[in-house]
Amino acid sequence: MLSFEDIKGHKNFQSTACPGTNWEGVDDSLRNRIVNDVWQGYPDPQPTVTPPPQPPVDPTIPLLEEIRLLKLSNATLTQKVIELQNKIDQIKGIIQ
């Protein structure tokens, strides 16, 4: 657009009957559909409700669980090492 002369309005084009020939007069007129809430054959005019987005998952949760399991495993291994060391000490005591 280079100047105001380039702007076109409703009067510059072929005008149509307002509000239009399909507004009133027949049973399936636009006015009848709106006033009587008749929407057969058309999409549901009600707004579509979208659920809120899910909150992001904390990426540290699986890592914390892995740490917890490793600590339990380490405690079990430590206990096993102590038991084996005690057996070794018992055997050494018998041999000497």
Domain boundaries, the chain: 17-43+57-95
Q: Which of 39-43, 52-56, 79-83 has the lowest mean pLDDT?
A: 39-43
> What confidence score (pLDDT) does residue 36 get?
83
Q: Give the C-alpha separation, 89 to 15, whole Å.
A: 107
Residue 88 has which token pair?
A: 């070794």
Mean pLDDT of the chain: 80
At 14 the pLDDT is 67
Q: pLDDT at position 66, please?
A: 92
Flag the least confident range among 14-18, 24-28, 82-86: 14-18
Amino acid 32: pLDDT: 81
Confidence at residue 29, expressed as pLDDT on a 0 to 100 scale:
79
Peptide bond into 52 cis (omega under 30): no
